[in-house]
A and B are shown apart, each in its own frame.
Chain A
Amino acid sequence: MCTMICEKADMEGSAKGREGWFPLKNANVSYDHPFNAPWEYAVNIDFVNEDRGVGARVAVELSPESAKLLADSIMKALERGEADPQIQISVL
């Protein structure tokens, strides 16, 4: 809220929070103060389902370099997986 930098994305999938698995609804990606990581700012990713209350949240707080590595890793895994027609993920 100090930087106001937050990107929201609709999500399909599951996340495991403090009370077990829950269906995902959004990912909130902010560049703002973290709660725990030892820096003034971090890339904070909250996987949430607001319909289940604010406690339905899986959080990570990353350094900028880590965030870039994560984004790159996601894209690389997607490229490899989507290149193989035998292992396509079908959303039911």
Chain B
Amino acid sequence: MYTTDQYEGMIAETITISGTNGDAINTYFARPMGPGPFPAVVLAHHLPGWDELYREFTRRLAHHGYLAISPDLYCREAHGTPEDVAAAVRADGGVSDDQVMGDLEAAAKYVRSLPSSNGKVAAFGTCSGGRHVFLAGCRLDCFDAIVECWGGNVIMSDDQLTDKQPISPNSYTQDLNVPLLGLFGDLDQSPTPEQVNQHEKELEAAGKDIEFHRYPEAGHGFFYFDRPIYHQSSAVDGWDKMFNFLGKQLG
């Protein structure tokens, strides 16, 4: 519980970590000041790129007491404005799942290695980032919890598969190895409510520890306060659900 009489401070800066194949990856890292120990969250940014919104999400998590780290998943493609870089990535069919998994794992290992870490690390992502963190919860063993926000293309048809995204993420459902919080808008077109229902049923059938919340008045990206799709009451409740979940899972 935040109170007005407590000390607060954070450091937020760009650092470099060693990602997939040892590539240097620009990474935004915000952390509370103090010795800790602090839990950590790795943020997988959304389609519009490694943008100001994700920096704000990163700082918000640090404000709430997390070592928050957001790697630039498009770092290898180019540098420029986030929109220009993301447009180039969009034209190239995105980035490969294998590459993203390596970068997220590198970020998790980095924060866990810090003396201020309590050893617990979650992954949070929205849109394509929601898809990526679900995959990470299934394919990697470095996370303790997953927050999947409206992950698009978690369920892919065969004709959607590409060399970069060769396997539909829901094929890995049996491999999910940590608790998962899912937040979804019923007005979303990707994932559709039917896809969310299927995703939930598959996870339940596999006996996974999940917590799904659906917001009837929200569409895609309802956390994005810089866009018309922002939905205030859903976003406020969604952040509350997320902080409760992280508090429970990461200590």
Q: Which residues of A are in contact with B by a Cβ distance under 8 Å?
A: 1-4, 6, 8, 26, 28, 30, 32-33, 35, 38, 40-41, 44, 46, 48, 50, 53-55, 57, 59
Interface size class of B (residues with CB under 8 A): 35 or more
Q: Which of B28-36, B86-94, B113-121, B206-214 contacts A (4 or more CB under 8 A)?
A: B86-94
Q: Determine how close the nearest CB of chain B comes to the CB of A27; give it in whole angstroms.
A: 10
User: Is the Cβ of A54 less than 8 Å from the Cβ of B78?
Assistant: yes
User: Is the Cβ of B80 less than 8 Å from the Cβ of A53?
Assistant: yes
Sample of 12 further A-B pairs with CB below 8 A, known A28-B87, A38-B227 = A1-B90, A2-B153, A3-B153, A8-B91, A26-B91, A33-B220, A38-B229, A40-B188, A40-B219, A41-B189, A48-B87, A54-B81
Residues of A within 8 A of B153 (CB): 2-4
Nearest residue in A to B89 (C-beta to C-beta)?
A: A1
Instruction: Please tell me which one of the listed residues A30, A40, A55 contacts residue B229 in the complex, with CB atoms under 8 A apart.
Output: A40
Q: When A and B form their complex, what is the total count of cross-chain residue pairs whose Cβ atoms lie within 8 Å?
A: 80
Bound state CA distance, A60 and B160, in angstroms?
A: 25
User: Is the Cβ of B127 less than 8 Å from the Cβ of A33?
Assistant: yes
Bound state CA distance, A1 and B88, in angstroms?
A: 10
Q: Among the interface residues A28, A30, A33, A38, which one has the most CB atoms of the partner chain B within 10 A?
A: A33
User: Is the Cβ of B160 less than 8 Å from the Cβ of A46?
Assistant: no
Nearest residue in A to B79 (C-beta to C-beta)?
A: A54
Q: Determine how close the nearest CB of chain A comes to the CB of B97; give it in whole angstroms.
A: 12
Nearest residue in A to B189 (C-beta to C-beta)?
A: A40
> Is B152 in contact with chain A by the CB < 8 A criterion?
yes
User: Is the Cβ of A54 less than 8 Å from the Cβ of B88?
Assistant: yes
> Is B228 in contact with chain A by the CB < 8 A criterion?
yes
Bound state CA distance, A26 and B198, in angstroms?
A: 39
| Pairs across A and B, CB under 8 Å, 15 listed | A1-B94, A4-B153, A4-B165, A8-B91, A30-B91, A35-B83, A40-B220, A40-B221, A48-B91, A53-B78, A53-B80, A54-B77, A54-B80, A55-B84, A59-B87
Bound state CA distance, A3 and B159, in angstroms?
A: 11
Q: Determine how close the nearest CB of chain B comes to the CB of A37; give it in whole angstroms.
A: 9
Q: Among the interface residues B83, B90, B93, B189, which one has the most CB atoms of the partner chain A within 10 A?
A: B90
Nearest residue in B to A28 (C-beta to C-beta)?
A: B91
User: Is the Cβ of B89 less than 8 Å from the Cβ of A55?
Assistant: no
Residues of B within 8 A of A35 (CB): 48, 83, 86-87
Residues of A within 8 A of B227 (CB): 38
Bound state CA distance, A59 and B127, in angstroms?
A: 22
Bound state CA distance, A91 and B186, in angstroms?
A: 51
Residues A57 and B127 in contact in the complex (CB < 8 Å), given A2-B190, A6-B90, A6-B93: no
Bound state CA distance, A48 and B188, in angstroms?
A: 30
Q: Determine how close the nearest CB of chain A comes to the CB of B226; give it in whole angstroms.
A: 10
